[in-house]
Amino acid sequence: MEPDAIDWTEKIDKVATRISNMGLETPAIIFLEAHRPLTFFANQGLIFLAPILYPLFGGKTEEAAKFFEERDNVEKLIRRIEEKAREREQNERAARQLRRAARQARRQARRGS
């Protein structure tokens, strides 16, 4: 690993969690998949526009440019979003099953009393 290299795992997880919490997994994945071939241009564009965008976004434009330097980062982000979507679906399914079981228990309690 280069001395300047960044471990993106934590940031990828944070972005994926935020996308999942908003329920935007599908649009985010479609957007990232469609624009994956353009990551090099995104990197170069952010580097070029950094002085203009700095007052609006601070150092985040430089960070985003570094993210797009490695093509694998977009793939890692897509995979993490997919994992978060599966986790959210499982949690929602478990919550529905609990609600269903509670409703059935209340119905049985009413019938039994």
Supply the pTM of this predicted model. Answer: 0.74
Calculate the dihedral angle through the C-alpha atoms of 84, 85, 90, 92, rounding to the nearest 10 degrees: 110
Q: Report the alpha-carbon distance of residue 4 to residue 78 in Å, rounded.
A: 24
Task: Please report the pLDDT score of residue 113 as a whole number.
Answer: 63
Closest CA to 16 of 75, 103, 95, 91: 75
Task: Please report the pLDDT score of residue 82 as a whole number.
Answer: 96
More confident residue, 59 or 85: 85
Tokens of 107: 């119905």
**Percent of all residues in the chain with a pLDDT value above 70, rounded to a whole number:** 95
Each residue's pLDDT tens digit, 7-26: 889 999 999 999 999 999 99
| Average model confidence (pLDDT) across the chain | 87
Each residue's pLDDT tens digit, 60-87: 878 888 888 888 899 999 999 999 999 9
